[in-house]
Structure formats: C-alpha cells, structure tokens
Chains A and B, each alone.
Chain A
C-alpha cells in the first residue's frame, strides 16, 4: 500500500539529491469510492430480498450446533482428510510412475489417470457401491472373506470413490510440480552419488511442493464440497444430515442454508491453513518470507487509516 504514495504522476519538484523525503499529494482514485458504494448497495438489496423471503431464518441457529449436524460435520471432515490423503499419496506415486523411464509403469499410470479422470465421480461412487454385481464375495484367503455388500460400507465406498478419483487429479498436479524443478538439481544430486529414489525424496519433491501446494489447497476445498455427493451412497455426512433434518423438522430450505454456511465456514478455515503451508514451502525461494495473515491485515489497516496526502 505504500507503493501508492510513490506513484505520483503530477509535476513534482524533486530536490536535487536532497536527503529530505518527497512530499507529494497522491493520485486520488474516486472510481474506487463510487464502485464500493454500488457494490454495497447491490449486496444490501440481495440481503433484503432474502430476509423478506418465505424462509424461517430462526431455524438455522436452532439447529446450527445440533448434535446430528456436528456429527455430520465431523464425518465430512473425516472423509475429506482421508480421501485427500489417499489422493495425495496416490497422486505422487502416479506422477513418479508417469515420469518413470519404465514403459510399463508409465503406461499403467497413464491408463489409471485416463480412466478415473474420464468418468464422473458420482458415477464412480455408485459403481463402487454396486460392484457386488461383479464380485459377489471378497476373498482375501485366510485373512478376510465376506459378501461384497457387507464389505463395501457407505464409508468405504465414499473413501475409495473420492480418494481414487482424486489421485488421478493429484497425479497431474504433482507431475507439473516435479517437472518444474530445475534439471540441474537432479544432476547435482546424482553427481553427489545419490540414488534416484533419494534424489526424488530429498531434493526434487521438497522443491516441487512449492508448485504443488497451491493447487492442492484448491483440491482440498473442492474435496470438502464434493463430499456432499457421498450422500447418494447413504453416508450420513453434513449434506445428508441437513436433508434428513429438513424433512423431519419441516424446514428443508433452511437446512440447506445451514449446510451452505457450514461448508463456507470450513473452507474458510482451510484457506487460512493453506496460506501458512505455502509460506512454509516458500522458505529458501525468496529472501524474506511473505507476511502472515495478521501482518497483512495490520498493514492494510494502517494504509487505510493513513491521512490523505500524508506520508508513511
């Protein structure tokens, strides 16, 4: 924000190499005030329309911390975290396989990505659930044997369906990250006698993370919302719970707003976490770390309250 003070385009009498700082009136951006007013007016209009609608807003706070809702939230988070774990682990593995010199492994990875990225995740979920049509029993020899329908619980369906699908997307993100690391890094590591695996683990992947983390954060947020699809296989996560409560309490639309509010709250929390993760992986790549959220807010507030025409 301090930049704006230096962006003066009027005639400025610059003292010849004097030690005194420049005192100039900054450019006024009247357009910003006008657009802010318009945006606020539009928003107020929308809020007013919703408040006048036939919606019982009071039902939302009543159920917001309802035990069933909280359980649904917990399940949504659990599925998100676990399927993202499968997705990231599988994604890294697939990316390494795809970049491998071995034609067999790279073809397998290619096929996997082609299949799981090419079919809708909702369809995949339902197919997993109904795979009992193909495999009547699941038989792992002496360890485990059961009927498919008993084995494939809603939880496991959700986990496999979302996780395996996510792995295909993460594979492409990881591949981009691995390719973004300078080849000289691999050469230097090899010249020191490091093996392929060690070079990947110690040198390439840590540097690829800087490229991988931002889109992965995006994927996490996406996943959090995609978990709502799991309601179709009878897994009682947030969306399913909200629908169920809505039907019994006679406030179906209200419960959808409640679910939306929870999703928004959760994604907001994830966004903050993502920012700090990006900051961590930026170490070494720039001379100074980017400011934390609080530092940013602080500096914005300061620039906002700075008197017009004054100097920092």
Chain B
C-alpha cells in the first residue's frame, strides 16, 4: 500500500500501532451470524474503504468500532485499546457506560440517514457535543462551529433547522458535527446512499478535503469512484467475511476473487 497523501503534512502519527485492528471479529444478531471472523488493520492517517453487497456486514462492522454493537467473539482494538472491554490478566471486564462514552468522544461517526437533531439549528447541532460533553464554553464552541460550517460550505445556513436543509446540506452539517469533537478517527456509514445523485458530489468533496488533511477514515460506501480516487486501502466483504483486500486501484480494476468480479461487474 502506497501512502499517497497524508505523508506530506502528518507523518508523525504513522506509528506502529494501527488505528483500528480487528482479530477474528464475530457478531451475531440472535441466530444470524453477521460477521464471521473479520481480520483487518486500518493504519493511522489512511482512508479505508469497505465495499460489498448489502447484508455483507460492513455497516455492522463499522458500528462495532465505536461499540454501538457489541462484538460476540474476537478482538477489536482502536488506537491500541480494546473496544468495550478491559483486559486484566486473561479476564475481560465489560466497560461501564461512562467509560464507553469517553472513548466514543474520539471517534466521529456519520450516518446514512444523517441523524441530525431536528429540534436544533445547524450550528446548535455542531456545538451540542463540545458544550455538553467536553464542557467547552458556548462562545468558543460557536466560533469553532462556524469555522467547521465554513469548511463544509454551509456558514450561511448556520441558523437553519435540519428540515430546512437539503439532504446533502444535512449530511455536511453532520460531518461538521462529528468534527467538532476533534476525533482521531472518522467512521462513515454509507454517507451518500440517502442522497439525490446531484447532491452526492458536495458531500464527497468534503470527505476528500478531510482525507487530504490527514484524517483517518473508515468509509462504508458504494461510491467506487471515491474509493478509487481517495482510498488508500479497500476491503471487499461478502457474507460476513473479508473476500479481498488491497489497494483500491488494483482491486477495483483487477479483482482476483470471482465474487468480487461479479459484484464489481454489477456496480461499475
């Protein structure tokens, strides 16, 4: 894997510890096993794309990373620390809700359905977590929020409620909201799947800009163009397992596995 972008300005954090490391991760909902042993590694500073048909478990895996879903078996590490548990000797202790919340501060998440808080304006959405969770002063949070909204191109919509914004605008506010916590890792769960085709570009532009700034990003997506252009690594999942992984440009143009070939022939 060639580090094409982030190398220029932030080589500092590309240490030995990967940002996300999964070892044989399993997850079941009742009797249905959704993840059947996922092994993968996301390096600090890279854009990591997860593709695959729906039901392949990619969103579930993403939600395991910030413990919105509990892993049933295997180990999942974020920045060298176990997700959801503390290990003492060979025993695992479940983390308290407050400890889980503390870890989630550093992981931003962007949802397919945006999930903006509808009773707050755009800028209120962005300042909510810094003020309520980190205890940042309102004035300071607002100043930073305006910078972030500027960055996603929505400074003029700061006072609008989500219902007064288009889907693409809502998603960009959602990205600004996640960035307001200064996360070290950003998770994107099909961020453009609920958008009109003409609005997808604006959101992808913001994500591209974010990638260039050196943010570590795990992106579940159906946008092969984005994966090819911005991605550093790509994993193709199907049926709860990793089928193929590697450099996105290579996997997308010359897939080795027959299942990958079949999938790509349909979506490309």
**Residue A283 at the chain B interface, CB threshold 8 Å:** yes
Q: A45: shortest Cβ distance to chain B, in Å?
A: 50
Chain A residues with CB under 8 A of B164: 287
Q: Is the CB of B118 within 8 A of A191?
A: no
Q: Give Cα A184 to B194, complex, Å.
A: 14
Q: B19: shortest Cβ distance to chain A, in Å?
A: 17
**Residue A229 at the chain B interface, CB threshold 8 Å:** no
Given A195-B98, A195-B101, A283-B161, do A188 and B115 touch, yes or no (CB 8 Å)?
yes
Given A184-B115, A284-B119, do A192 and B97 touch, yes or no (CB 8 Å)?
no
**Residue A285 at the chain B interface, CB threshold 8 Å:** yes
Q: What 1/0 flags go to A170-204 for Cβ under 8 Å of B?
A: 00000000000010110111111111101000110
Q: Give Cα A283 to B118, complex, Å.
A: 9
**Residue B111 at the chain A interface, CB threshold 8 Å:** yes
Q: B219: shortest Cβ distance to chain A, in Å?
A: 15
Q: Is the CB of B117 within 8 A of A203?
A: yes
Q: Is the CB of A192 within 8 A of B133?
A: yes
Chain B residues with CB under 8 A of A202: 128, 132
Q: Is the CB of A193 within 8 A of B129?
A: yes
Chain B residues with CB under 8 A of A198: 132-133
Given A195-B97, A284-B162, A287-B164, do A190 and B104 touch, yes or no (CB 8 Å)?
yes
Chain A residues with CB under 8 A of B128: 192, 202
Q: A183: shortest Cβ distance to chain B, in Å?
A: 9
**Residue A207 at the chain B interface, CB threshold 8 Å:** yes
Q: Is the CB of B115 within 8 A of A187?
A: yes
Q: Give Cα A213 to B97, complex, Å.
A: 31
Q: Give Cα A287 to B132, complex, Å.
A: 27
Q: Which of B104, B117, B161 has the most CB of A within 10 A?
A: B117
Q: Give Cα A286 to B121, complex, Å.
A: 13
**Residue B26 at the chain A interface, CB threshold 8 Å:** no
Q: A99: shortest Cβ distance to chain B, in Å?
A: 15
Q: Give Cα A198 to B134, complex, Å.
A: 12
**Residue B142 at the chain A interface, CB threshold 8 Å:** no
The number of chain B residues with a CB under 8 A from chain A is: 33
Chain A residues with CB under 8 A of B103: 193
- The closest CB in chain B to the CB of A201 belongs to B132
**For chains A and B in complex, what number of residue pairs have CB atoms within 8 angstroms?**
74
Given A284-B118, A285-B118, do A193 and B68 touch, yes or no (CB 8 Å)?
no
Q: Give Cα A189 to B116, complex, Å.
A: 9
Q: A252: shortest Cβ distance to chain B, in Å?
A: 51
Q: Is the CB of A191 within 8 A of B109?
A: yes
Given A185-B115, A206-B119, A284-B120, do A191 and B107 touch, yes or no (CB 8 Å)?
yes
Q: Give Cα A203 to B115, complex, Å.
A: 11
Chain B residues with CB under 8 A of A286: 163
Chain A residues with CB under 8 A of B129: 192-194
- The closest CB in chain A to the CB of B131 belongs to A202
Q: Give Cα A185 to B111, complex, Å.
A: 10
- The closest CB in chain A to the CB of B187 belongs to A191
Chain A residues with CB under 8 A of B133: 192-194, 198
**Residue B177 at the chain A interface, CB threshold 8 Å:** yes
Q: Is the CB of B104 within 8 A of A193?
A: yes
Chain B residues with CB under 8 A of A188: 109, 111, 115-117, 174
Q: What 1/0 flags go to A227-257 for Cβ under 8 Å of B?
A: 0000000000000000000000000000000
Q: Is the CB of B119 within 8 A of A207?
A: yes
Chain A residues with CB under 8 A of B98: 195
Which residues in window 84-118 of B have CB below 8 A to A?
97-98, 101-105, 107-109, 111, 113, 115-118
Q: A282: shortest Cβ distance to chain B, in Å?
A: 10
Q: Give Cα A283 to B117, complex, Å.
A: 12
Q: Give Cα A194 to B178, complex, Å.
A: 12
- The closest CB in chain A to the CB of B67 belongs to A190
From A185, A192, A287, contact of B104 by CB (8 A): A192
Which residues in window 276-293 of A have CB below 8 A to B?
283-287
- The closest CB in chain B to the CB of A281 belongs to B119
Nearest first, the 10 closest Cβ-Cβ pairs linking A and B are A193-B105, A188-B115, A192-B129, A191-B109, A184-B115, A284-B161, A193-B104, A284-B119, A193-B133, A284-B118
Interface residue ranges, B against A (CB under 8 Å): 66, 68, 97-98, 101-105, 107-109, 111, 113, 115-121, 128-129, 132-133, 161-164, 174, 177-178, 181
16 contacts between A and B (CB under 8 A): A185-B115, A187-B115, A188-B115, A188-B116, A191-B104, A191-B108, A191-B178, A192-B133, A192-B178, A193-B103, A195-B98, A202-B128, A207-B118, A284-B121, A284-B163, A285-B119
Interface residue ranges, A against B (CB under 8 Å): 182, 184-185, 187-196, 198, 202-203, 206-207, 283-287
